[in-house]
A and B are shown apart, each in its own frame.
Chain A
Amino acid sequence: MSRKKSQEKIFEIKWKTDLPYRYSIGKLAVKFFEELKENKKIMGSKCSKCGKVHSPPRAVCAECFIEMTVEDMVELSPRGTLEGFTVINYPFTDPATGGLRPFPYGYAIFKLDGADTYTMHFINETDYTKLKVGQRVEAVFKEEREGNIGDIMYYKVIKEEK
């Protein structure tokens, strides 16, 4: 439970605890991941009062305090417009595997066409001088999809005017 300070020998007791959860992810998320896996579709949810489209889908529109159900889910374009980006240059322990993700990797925040909120995901560009706010991006899907967020491997910059 501790690091070594200089050459001093540290008294240590080591243990490891697994604390697994079985989350209920809700009907909207089930639909989201089903559509992602089966049809390569990205879904959002649309508020019946203000019309705001949330990506990823949310069960309550915070602005209106209105519930959104699976019936309120709408298909979003896999394309969007870049609003911001960063390039991560430090090791990150992947919560899915416990292993280290290779770095550097690009990270983007963008608005998918048809959505009103920002979405965040990896982008396949590690040279930040090549990224610009306003660029068009598109989702790249895995061939063998499993029904998790990793089914979108990353977004890529595409040459296209909005």
Chain B
Amino acid sequence: MTEIGKVAIVGVAQTKYEEDKIDQTYSELVFEVVKKLHNDLGITNDDVGCVITSSNDFNDGRTIANMAIQDAVGSVRKAESRVSGDGAFAFMYGAMRILSESFDTVMVVSHCKCSEVSQYLVNNTIFDPYYQRHLGLDQISSAGLMANMYMNKYGVTEEQAAMVVVKNRKNALNNPYAHLREEISINDVLNSKMMAYPLKELDFPPFSDGAVAMLLAKEDVAKKMTDTPIWFKGYGNCTDAYYLGNRNMTDLIGLELAAKEAYRMAGVNNPRENLDVCEVSESFSVHELMIYEALGLCDKGEGGKFIESGETEMNGSTPVNPSGGVLSSNPTMANGLIRVAEIALQLQGKADKRQVPNAKTGLAYGMNGICSQGNCVLIFGGEN
């Protein structure tokens, strides 16, 4: 059997993320990134063994929505499967198709056009239909409750939360694919309209349209296709309780367990020292502080002080979200696969103006559902 560490990302492609890509269908977005990847790698669809996509039927407005992109993704009369969820899980599914020695190459694609349906309504349907849905819970109200409980328990301030937004939006200036590319100040965040106390409008991401694709290959094929294969080193997956009332709302336990498993597999003993760069799916400002803690970048309750230390800035010891993160671009279902793509670019040394110098080991975190319910932690390494 192929060992973990022998599966590589050989190339990635992204669209620009924008508020309303009215000129393109989601199928056309997918074609744009798949075609670009073919051209970059000098391959054709015949070189692709298997296709794994990630999307959400409620967002796409039809069931078996992967069939709507079948032509664009090149899966007609091919092994094809879809993850109805975040793109990081699709990466894992694709990697497993190579680890099991079923295929030499796998195309992994995720897309989302948030502009085509109310994201509040889609998110409300996550909740059970008789106890919770009619009380209007969605990603915003849940985030407000979680942020209030976390900040109250650990004494984290709204200013510290705002620093996350300022950092990520500043990083996005260096990312040509990012949706929001405008520098903002802590006061801009604090003075923006209250959405769900203690969270303001700018504590939340925009909604974006976009797509991302990558090609995975087994070791010998990967080395022929590129000089900079990025190796898959570790994986951890953990689902926390679905019902928010059954969760510890002040610590991301599911993410903590997923990270532990991924670190064990990749031989990460000290995340602060071993990880050169992280790309995480932060659904709101305070969430990123909680993610620092769950990933072991700082101690529990220290997320606020950790952002103040500057260690997660571009010039810090562990830059988090050099791309600008979800707070800058948020095509929801694609967020996890974008994190993977950005880590691949970092480790390839191809991240241009957002490059973290000498990045050798990176972490990507993808998330399903509300408030870190489903967690997928992936570790990658460059140069083998």
Contact = CB atoms under 8 A, between A and B. Distances in A.
B134 A96 contact: yes
A159 B312 CA distance: 44
A120 B137 contact: yes
B118 interface: yes
B81 to A, nearest CB: 25
B22 A117 contact: no
Interface string A35-70: 000000000000000000011101000100000000
Given A2-B22, A3-B20, A56-B131, A92 B194 contact: no
B120 to A, nearest CB: 7
Which of B115, B129, B132, B196 has the largest number of chain A CB atoms within 10 A?
B196
B22 A5 contact: yes
Interface string B110-148: 000001101011001000011111111110110011111
A10 B22 contact: yes
B130 A149 contact: yes
Contact of B124 (A21, A85, A95): A95
Interface stretch (B229-237, B243-251, B300-308, B352-360): B243-251
A86 interface: yes
A84 B130 contact: no
B60 to A, nearest CB: 12
Contact of B130 (A5, A90, A148): A148
Contacts of A89: 193-197
Nearest to B116: A1
Given A1-B116, A58-B243, A84 B195 contact: no
A86 B197 contact: yes
Given A86-B145, A88-B196, A90-B140, A109 B134 contact: no
Contact of A120 (B121, B193, B244): B244
A95 B134 contact: yes
Nearest to B137: A120
A118 B245 contact: yes
A101 B136 contact: yes
A107 B144 contact: yes
B136 A92 contact: yes
Given A95-B124, A107-B141, A117 B193 contact: no
Contacts, number: 118
Contacts of A158: none
A3 B22 contact: yes
A25 interface: yes
Contacts of A149: 130-132, 134-135
A85 B244 CA distance: 13
Contacts of A55: 245
Contact of B134 (A1, A54, A94): A94
Given A85-B148, A94-B134, A95-B124, A23 B129 contact: yes
A86 B247 CA distance: 17
A87 interface: yes
Q: Could you say which of B20, B147, B245, B247 has the most chain A C-beta atoms within 10 Å of its C-beta?
A: B245
Contact of A121 (B20, B22, B120, B135): B135
Interface string B143-186: 01111110010000000000000000000000000000000000
Contact of A109 (B120, B130, B245): B245
A107 B152 contact: no
B76 interface: no
B196 A86 contact: yes
Nearest to A128: B197
A142 to B, nearest CB: 13
A3 B134 CA distance: 28
Nearest to B201: A90
A5 B22 CA distance: 8
A70 B138 CA distance: 29
A150 B245 contact: no
Given A83-B149, A87-B197, A101-B136, A118 B130 contact: no
Contacts of A29: 130-131
Contacts of B116: 1-2
B269 to A, nearest CB: 31
Interface string A94-121: 1110000100000101000000011111
Interface of B: 20, 22, 115-116, 118, 120-121, 124, 129-138, 140-141, 144-149, 152, 193-199, 241, 243-247, 249
14 contacts: A2-B116, A3-B22, A83-B149, A84-B145, A88-B144, A95-B121, A95-B133, A109-B145, A109-B149, A109-B249, A118-B246, A120-B135, A149-B131, A150-B134
Given A86-B197, A88-B136, 4 more contacts: A23-B129, A62-B241, A86-B198, A89-B196
8 nearest A-B residue pairs (beta carbon): A86-B144, A118-B245, A84-B149, A117-B245, A128-B197, A87-B197, A86-B196, A92-B136
